[in-house]
Amino acid sequence: MLSGESRFLDGEYDVQTNLLETSSPGGTPALATYQHRYYSRDGALQMDVSLDVKSGRALCSRYDGAKAETQSANFSLPADTYAGASLLIRIAYGLLRNQRDQITAHFFTCAPGPRLLAVQTNSRAGVRWPHYDGEACAVDVRPNLGWWDILIEPFIPKIRAWFDPADGFNYLGGDAQWYYRGPQVELVRDRNALGVPPAK
């Protein structure tokens, strides 16, 4: 299980839970279920997003007070489907196997309704990041839609993730549009809270 909580300087926060499974020792974990809830600074639920990979059932709910506007879909999902933070696991495994720009996957997002996108990565090694003392690996995630990229890319959340090549490509943080038409946020992993000293 991969669970995460992000708290932002304006008081908003979100909580996500990803359940992953492996079919063989050393294999890349595959997503089984995903839930992501977004809250305002006063604790009111703003969005509730969920995906069950086995059944293919996807829900995107947006809240205005107690009123929810929900869009749903049923997908036939490929084995390389990820959502939320679980995509970072797919990328990290790909970097460990030196796949670099050959890392591909399918990514579930609400844009604004349930949508499944083929994505690929573009990575750069030896990059400096202001929030890390060592050299990092920057990975951009982009939709792989052929010439449709030009039309749909403005509506797809932008993702750039930073990984530590000196520490098994552990995730350091990233820049992301948090959801469809949502804020562009910067995430920085609190290494001190995990008892991990900064790299030298």
Residue from 68, 52, 72 nearest 60 by CA: 72
194 falls within a domain: no
83 is a domain residue: yes
Within a domain: 195: no
Residue 11 domain flag: yes
Residue pair 164/134 in contact by the 8 Å Cβ criterion: yes
| 69, two tokens | 């506007």
Q: Which domain holds residue 68?
A: 2-188
What residues in the chain have per-residue pLDDT under 70?
Answer: 145-157, 178-182, 191-200
Asked whether residue 174 is assigned to any structural domain, the reply reads yes
Rounded to two decimals, the pTM is 0.85
For 14, the 3-state DSSP assignment is strand
Q: Within a domain: residue 18? A: yes
CA gap 156, 165 in Å, rounded: 28
Q: Distance between CA atoms of 36 and 76, rounded to whole angstroms?
A: 21
Domain annotation covers residue 13:
yes
CA distance linking residue 134 with residue 116, whole number of Å? 35
User: Up-side HSE of residue 139: CA atoms within 13 Å toward CB?
Assistant: 31
Number of domains in the chain: 1
**Token digits of residue 44:** 């009111």
Is the residue at 198 inside a domain?
no
pLDDT in tens, 72-122: 999 999 999 999 999 999 999 999 999 888 899 999 999 889 999 899 999
Asked whether the beta carbons of 56 and 111 are under 8 A apart, the reply is no
How do 159-164 and 170-177 pair as beta strands?
Answer: antiparallel
Distance CA 121, CA 106 (A): 12
CA distance 12 to 89: 25
